[in-house]
Structure 1
Amino acid sequence: MRRAGLRGRGKPGTTGHSERDRYDELRGAGVSRSEAAAQVGVHVRTAQDWDKGIRKIGNSRLHPDGRTIDYNTGVITVRDSAGEPSLARLEARLHPRFLTLTEREQIADLHRDGASLREIGRRLGRAASTIKREVDSYSVRGAYRPHQAHRTWAAARSRPKASKPATSGPLRDYVAGKLALQWSPEQICHALLIDHPDDEVMRVSTETIYQAIYVQARGGLRREVADALRTGRTRRKPHRSPEQRTSPFTDEMVMISERPAEVADRAVPGHWEGDLIVGTGSASAIVTLVERSTRYVLLGHLPGGHTAEEVRDVLVPLIGSLPQHLRGSLTWDQGCEMAAHKQFTVATDVPVYFCDPHSPWQRGSNENTNGLLRQYFPKGTDLSVHSAEDLELVAHRLNGRPRKTLGWKTPAERLRDLLTVD
């Protein structure tokens, strides 16, 4: 009936107009989408598809540009069964910067009549370079053929392809292997440039790796999502700055505003940032120290508590294990665990500077490191079950990861360079 140009009778009890026709009439009369959908009796998502010219076919949606998207599998089809661009793709309404079939026909007529490229451009409202590129690209034996040009252009438009991590091969194995070592997608992306400098096949962007993990339609690394990223999330989430809750520190302190300028610009190594990560019920903790210049990490074991004396007794041997030229200063927040800071300074000759209240960004390197450590020591868990050897292994892993801020060198390599300088 439709091929013969006949319209269906519609649902029983209607006036003969389909829901779509009734919806188009309401929209043409200025009725809003939600109101028109309610009057017709369809979901607002269906109305949105109608406004965009999208047709629903089973579990798929046919877009005006010829794309057919299966929302169960994420598969996108853009060609017909004969392998040619679909009619919808050829007749799709695209961005005004693209030439339409009508414009190509005008180009052919004017070019055949001997009009110059500039004249054709003026009549079509296009740049002469656009006309020249079109004629040069799609002319056969000196003759510009508009319909063949349009079909060739439609077939050459960007088409979806399989994600690189979703395709078996050395690239996928490399990415999966580094994710198993808790490398971030950005670290993997840059490591590929170093490990395979001449192999263009071994290239993948950071966003592609994230999509392979999170986006179902891209796929490829879903099984690794639990262990791949330190957050362990199954969906993407915007970054949010963590809130730093600290208790008032009543003892005399030297504030960060009095810290030497050489500490702030990270030019001189040996200046450290410190904090605690706390276990369940604040019954256990781990001391975390980060060197500001190299991002080298030291961890201290506090299985039984984190009083000021206990923290002091862990910090003193940690700092004491360093050579003298790497004992510059220590920056801490105003937590009561540093009440014995003067005793620490006397024992190590390392001054302690305190951040302003609720200003975690003043210890940015340490905050970032604490976030990385939560991959190994999740919040809400008992930290006393981890031994000193476990902490040493975790510190070794963090110090062996390449860092963007270090030019993709590792903290261990940067510290080694400092220790071997004559």
Structure 2
Amino acid sequence: MDQNHFTTDTLRKKGAHLTFEERVIIQTRLRDKQSYRSIAREIGCCVNTVRNEVKRGKVLCYNGKVERYRAADGQSTYEAHRENCGRKCDAIAKGAFLDYVQKRLQEHHWSLDACFGRALVTGEFQRGEMVCTKTLYNYVTLGLLGKIKSIDLPLRVKRKNARKRVRERKKKFGRSIDERDPSVDERQDFGHWECDLVLGSRSKDEVLLTLVERKTRCSLIRKLPNKESASVIAAFRKLKDGMFRGCFSRVFLSITTDNGSEFSSLSELEKLSHTRIYYAHPYCSSDKGTNENHNGLFRRFLPKGKKIQDYPVEHISRVECWANTLPRKILGYKTPEECFREEMLAALTA
């Protein structure tokens, strides 16, 4: 069948704005007394697009006696609206809050989310005086947060996804994590800890024993002369007879650690207290992810390859204090120290 007349309109991209040439067509067809629907069909847009454009581009002619659409006025109105569209940057209006964020980042090494959440919880700034965490990250990308760059945010350039692998545990030091009460995973009860060792250089060097309470995220760091199992059990004996004397079993309900030989004697702690020791699956750091995450925080001040013995005990204590006074989103922007103090009071008065 021959068809010399094509009724198919020229394809028009959905959502595209009207051009000046299309506005001229609207002006011309209106003078020819055509309907909005026929004009829309010719341009290839919705009839409401034409109707709204006519409303925006109407002007008074002949001393205000006649109202007509003019393409030039419609185009100028469109360009004026385009200049004012889009979200405006609040970097200048909320400069006081951005100065607060820069100070916390540079002096206290807080995360951007900790800065936002803590300022909101403590009432230092009203919500209207602040920008959200996502906007703060965007400002860092755009260079609007002073000298702070993405490389200054450790987790932004460090995080990567890894698949979880569960391998058979050949070493049998004690109870497997599979025997641990599933309620521990819910983090509702206080007193369940994870522990690990942080090493310095590969040569003979001192090491750090790190412990993190799962519910409050409160951490303890103890400097050990070596990574022998005798040094590890001695450190726990010192905690039991010193800092937590008389309440060790109530504060340490369970301890989850890995299968390293340095923790082979840790199960002996069960004979000295009511604490239960559990060993994670081999090569499965996610079994004690809270501790691994905190080790990453400690590494900001104790980089790999540096000898632990070169750091005085005072420096280690400052790192521990920093971690315990860092506001956490998961704690409602409270600090681990505040939460730990509340749980300790409740445990000792129960």
TM-score class, shorter-chain normalisation, is 0.7 to 0.9
Alpha-carbon spacing, 1:125–1:262, altered in 2? closer, same or farther (3 Å) = same
The partner residue of 1:187 within 98, 114, 128 is 114
Q: TM-score, normalised by structure 1?
A: 0.64
> 267-276 vs 181-190, which deviates more?
181-190
Aligned residue identity for 2:221: L
Q: Which residue of 2 aligns with 1:268?
A: 189
Deviation, structure 1 residue 365: 0.8
Deviation, structure 1 residue 350: 1.3
Give % identity: 27
Q: TM-score, normalised by structure 2?
A: 0.76
Q: Which residue of 1 aligns with 2:266?
A: 341
Alpha-carbon spacing, 1:100–1:331, altered in 2? closer, same or farther (3 Å) = same
Task: Describe the superposition over 1:121-162 as per-residue Cα deviations: whole angstroms up to 9, x where unpaired.
Answer: 555443455445444455445644433333443352458977
User: Please, which runs of 5 or more residues in structure 2 have no aligned partner?
Assistant: 1-11, 61-66
Q: Which residue of 2 aligns with 1:398?
A: 323
How many angstroms apart in 2 are the aligned matches of 1:219 and 1:347? 56
| C-alpha contact 2:174 2:267 (8 A) present in aligned 1 | no
**Aligned counterparts, 1:235-274, within 5 A:** 237=157, 239-240=159-160, 250-274=171-195
Alpha-carbon spacing, 1:271–1:161, altered in 2? closer, same or farther (3 Å) = same
| C-alpha contact 1:276 1:285 (8 A) present in aligned 2 | yes
Aligned residue identity for 1:175: V
Matched, 1:354 2:276: no
Q: Aligned Cα RMSD in Å?
A: 3.5
Q: Which residue of 2 aligns with 1:291?
A: 213
The partner residue of 1:198 within 108, 111, 126 is 126
The partner residue of 2:100 within 151, 174, 177 is 174
| C-alpha contact 1:230 1:374 (8 A) present in aligned 2 | no
Deviation, structure 1 residue 230: 4.3
SS of the residue aligned with 1:98? coil
Task: Describe the superposition over 1:51-91 as per-residue Cα deviations: whole angstroms up to 9, x where unpaired.
Answer: xxxxxxxxxxxxxxxxxxxxxxxxxxxxxxxxxxxxxxxxx
Alpha-carbon spacing, 1:386–1:218, altered in 2? closer, same or farther (3 Å) = closer
> 150-159 vs 252-261, which deviates more?
150-159
Alpha-carbon spacing, 1:169–1:252, altered in 2? closer, same or farther (3 Å) = closer
Deviation, structure 1 residue 171: 2.8
User: Please, which runs of 5 or more residues in structure 1 have no aligned partner?
Assistant: 1-93
Alpha-carbon spacing, 1:294–1:144, altered in 2? closer, same or farther (3 Å) = farther
SS of the residue aligned with 1:237? helix
More helix as a share of residues: 2
How many angstroms apart in 1 are the aligned matches of 2:163 and 2:311? 26
Alpha-carbon spacing, 1:396–1:134, altered in 2? closer, same or farther (3 Å) = farther
Aligned residue identity for 2:153: L
The partner residue of 1:376 within 277, 280, 301 is 301
Alpha-carbon spacing, 1:254–1:404, altered in 2? closer, same or farther (3 Å) = same
Matched, 1:229 2:148: no
Alpha-carbon spacing, 1:309–1:98, altered in 2? closer, same or farther (3 Å) = same
How many angstroms apart in 1 are the aligned matches of 2:115 and 2:211? 25
Alpha-carbon spacing, 1:253–1:98, altered in 2? closer, same or farther (3 Å) = same
Alpha-carbon spacing, 1:96–1:374, altered in 2? closer, same or farther (3 Å) = same
Q: Which residue of 2 aligns with 1:326?
A: 251
Deviation, structure 1 residue 410: 1.6
How many angstroms apart in 1 are the aligned matches of 2:215 and 2:230? 28
How many angstroms apart in 2 are the aligned matches of 1:162 and 1:394? 36
| Relative contact order, higher structure (CA 8 A, sep 6+) | 2
How many angstroms apart in 2 are the aligned matches of 1:325 and 1:131? 75
**Aligned counterparts, 1:23-422, within 5 A:** 96-101=14-19, 102-109=21-28, 113=33, 115-116=35-36, 121=40, 123-140=42-59, 143-155=68-80, 156-157=82-83, 164=91, 169-180=95-106, 181-194=108-121, 195-196=123-124, 198=126, 200=128, 202-213=129-140, 215=141, 218-222=143-147, 224=148, 228-230=152-154, 237=157, 239-240=159-160, 250-281=171-202, 283-302=205-224, 304-318=225-239, 321-322=243-244, 323=247, 324-421=249-346
How many angstroms apart in 1 are the aligned matches of 2:207 and 2:226? 6
How many angstroms apart in 2 are the aligned matches of 1:198 and 1:119? 53
**Number of residue pairs aligned between Structure 1 and Structure 2:** 316
Deviation, structure 1 residue 384: 1.7
| C-alpha contact 2:189 2:215 (8 A) present in aligned 1 | yes
